[in-house]
Structures are given as C-alpha cells and as structure tokens.
Amino acid sequence: MNIQFDLVNAGIQAIYGPNTQNIQKLTFHSNSATASSLFFAIQGENHDGHLYIEDAIKRGAVAVVGSDQSLLETLSESYPIISFVVVRNVRIAMAYFAKYFHNSPDEKLKTIGVTGTNGKTTVAAYVRSLLTLLNMPSGSIGTTGIYTSEHKIPYKKSTPTTPESVDLHHIFNDLYSAGDEAVAMEVTSIGLDQKRVEGIYFDVAIHTNLSVEHLEYHKTFENYKQCKLDLFRQAHTAVINVDDEGMGQELLDLFSGPTMTYSLLPNQDADLKAFNIRHGDAGTSFTLQVDRKEYDVYVPVFGEYNVANILSAIGTAMLLGFKIPQILHALTKLESPEGRFQIIEVPPNQKIILDYAHTPVALTRLLEEVRKLKHNRLVVMIAGIGIRDFEKMPKMARAIEGKADEIIVTVDHPGHHDPSIIVDKVMTGFENPHATHIHRTNTREEGVIKSLELGGEGDIILLTSGCINGAQIVKGKEIPHSDEDLIHSFSYMPS
C-alpha cells in the first residue's frame, strides 16, 4: 500500500527523501526486511536498530523510521530514493503505522485487555471462551499463543506475551478475517511501557491483582504499578478486583468510566460477589451475588482463585451487554487454558497437574488448592527463571517449603546464565537446602523426568513455572520443549 509519511499521532519531526512509498511489509528486524519494507530502528535494552539501517536497506527496505535525526539526514544523502522519517519515539510511531497499515483492525473488534501480576492468561482464556459461547466469537492473544474462536493458530510471536505492535495489528487483522468479533489479550507492564498497545482504546480493561514482579525491568514496584495503571487510561470500561490491595482502590479512584467490581470477601462492597465455594471432582460450584440477587453457578474449573478469575469474565460479558441468565448457562461449558490447573491422569492412579505459576503469590495460591484434592503424596517442581528477576527465586523456595513431600528445583529459560547458578539462587530460600526430599536438576527436562520418577501410586505431581511457549530460551536460542510430550513418553509402572 502507498503510505504518506505524515501520519497523525506518529510524532513525526522530519522527513528526508520521498514523502510517499509503496510499503508491503513492516519490520523492526533488519534481517527480516524484504523488498518494499518499512524498517523501524528501535533502540532496545541490548541493541540499537539504528546500527542496522543499512542492512535493512540492502535487503529491500525503502523507508526507515528512527529517532537519530543527524544519522538519518546523513544516510539520506547516500540513499536519496529511500524515505527517512525522524520521530520522537520509534515505538509510538511503529504502533500508529502498524494500525494504519492494517486498516485499524482493533476498531473492528471488541478489544479486552487483561493486566495483573497473576491470572492474565487464565482470564484471557475465560473471556475468549465465554464470549464465544455467548455467540460473540472471540480470539485471544497471550502467553499460551494466539487463538481464534475456533482453534490455535501458528504464529511466531515477537515476545512471550504481549506482541510488538507490528505483530499485534497483524494478528487483529487475522482474527477479524477469520470471523471473530472480539479479542481478549494479555497486556503486560513491559508491553505497556514499550508502547506495544499505543493507539488502542480497549472496550474493556481487566485488573486481576498486583504483587512484586518484573523488577529486573522496572527497577521499582512503583514504576511497575504505574505501567499497569496506563492500561486503564486507554479503556472505555473496566473490571476491577476490589480485593486486591496492590491497586484496586487506586483504580477505583482513577477510572471514571463504567466499571464492574468483583470480590470473594463477604464484607466487601462489589458488583459481583462469590461465596459458598464448593470443590468437586469435575469442577467448582459457588453462589453468585449480583444486583442483590443470588444464583447457583457451576464451572468446570478448579481453584478458589479461579473463581475470582471467573467473576472478571462475567463482569466483562456484562459490560459488553450480556445478561446473567445467558452468562450462567454458558459458564457450564467454559474452557480453561492449557497449562493452567491442567490435570493429566496417568498410572498408577496419579494426577499430574500442569500449572505454570511463576510468582511466589501464584505458587502459594496454587498449593492451597492442589492440597485440597485427594492424594497420597505431593511432588512439586519449582523453577528459577533465568530471564526474570533473580531476587524472586528464593521466594519461590520459601513458598513451597514444608508443603510438599518431594521438591524438585530446576531451571526455566536459563538465557545466558549458567543453570547451576540459577538453581543455587533458588536453594538459598530453603531453611534446610540439604534436606533429602529436595532435589536439584539443571534443565526443565531433567526436572520433569525426576518429578515423574519420584511419583508413586495415588500421588499428585505438580509441575510449575513459566515454560509454556514450546521452548526453552538458552543463550538466545529457542530449544523445543514440551512437558506434555515428556509426560506421555514416560514409562509408568503399572498399577
């Protein structure tokens, strides 16, 4: 398509070379530039895209967006047929160009953004499932992948959770083309800080909870919180967890649009409340209070914290115009995301639970729910994540100590770190790291196999942490990995 480089909101300061180009592709990786590409020179934590501009041009880029005016002006003298566009913020410009290039697909969909420290993946999946069951076919975007209302689609994401804007609007367009009418997406604090959702005004923004996370990036908890709050500055309506002490009240004070609040606490003032929660072998039942009326609810999900996640999905549906009787009928068929309290039954009478909790708070909540299930012994695997905050690792050990019969410590996504150093850091959180029931492994594969080997008849084996992307990140490379494949290929002793 022909693009004129005077796009409103893109923060353009100067243009060198042609004012218009025929653009066929947007990219921020020079090695993926092809003929008629527009290349965005992003300055990241480890690399400066301005250093790769000429590489992108040699591969076919006909336009470059960057922030170094002196460099772009100089390059324009060597490449007079190339357009060089100077902007204040390359990421903001990229978001607006991506939206324009794909003809504003976000405005053709109902957009639901989910943020919070824990629960984003689950809530996005619940919203996708619930809206689809209510005949508003919906996709989802997040840690577990990209889904239309009907199936998962193969897509090489630029980031683990919230895609870069170039990819995000491409995905929106694909979902719209597939017939979807809405999309629920995880919106991370880093994604917000890096302007990946800039220019999108969400129909609904959902707040789950807030606790310490991502300090390796944000440095302070206040910076982290402020990034989360940004989502609600670009949303029409909001669903807020008023039980959350992290920022529930702050959101109520900040947000001026229509809201739905939810709570699990009996004395809390909220639009949606759940109580009398009962756990069964196939799911959970509870009493829902809304508009001073009470309803009996059944959902095929596990965990009291997931009841709160269900309430956020109900609130979203209500803000989008659906009525409680419709919603309650649909909830009985709700689908959960992969890797979230996912139960796999294997011989001899064992339950393997995949739940990729990777924060101390999430792990604590998960253990409380798992221990309610009938079992002989509990075997739990935890992991230090090499690409995350190292100071969180000992807290994972403290969260599990004294709550499992066997503990396996392993590594997720070691990145450029020595795996043994990551395990060492986790081990510092145990009061007695040399206890015989605590076992060390240096890869996730070894950790899963060790967990399965320790399992016996009637045991629950709980595999936690963050590997749900089909790979382990090792020294910048993605090494294929699947917990489920390991589980299904393991030789179990007959009961």
Report yes or no: 267 and 283 within 8 Å, Cβ to Cβ: no
How much is the pLDDT for 144?
84
CATH numeric code, 2-100: 3.40.1390.10
How much is the pLDDT for 119?
84
342-489 classified as CATH 3.90.1150.10 = no
How much is the pLDDT for 60?
96
Do 103-331 and 2-100 have the same topology in CATH? no
CATH numeric code, 103-331: 3.40.1190.10
The low-confidence residues of the chain, meaning pLDDT below 50, are 495
How much is the pLDDT for 54?
96
Contacts of 380 (CB under 8 A, 6+ apart): 367, 400, 403, 404, 406, 407, 408, 451, 461, 462, 464
How much is the pLDDT for 61?
97
Q: Give the domain ranges of the chain.
A: 2-100, 103-331, 342-489
Q: What 3-state DSSP class applies to 381?
A: strand
Q: Angle CA(447)–CA(448)–CA(453) in degrees, nearest 5?
A: 95
How much is the pLDDT for 495?
46
CA distance readout (Å), 408 to 167, 303, 436, 443:
37, 23, 11, 11
Strand partners, 139: 183
Q: Give the integer Cα–Cα distance in Å for 94 and 183.
A: 21
Tell me how far apart the 2 most distant CA atoms of the chain are, in Å: 76
How much is the pLDDT for 471?
78
pTM: 0.83
Give all strands (DSSP E) within 17-91, no chain letters.
Answer: 20-22, 25-27, 37-40, 61-66, 83-87
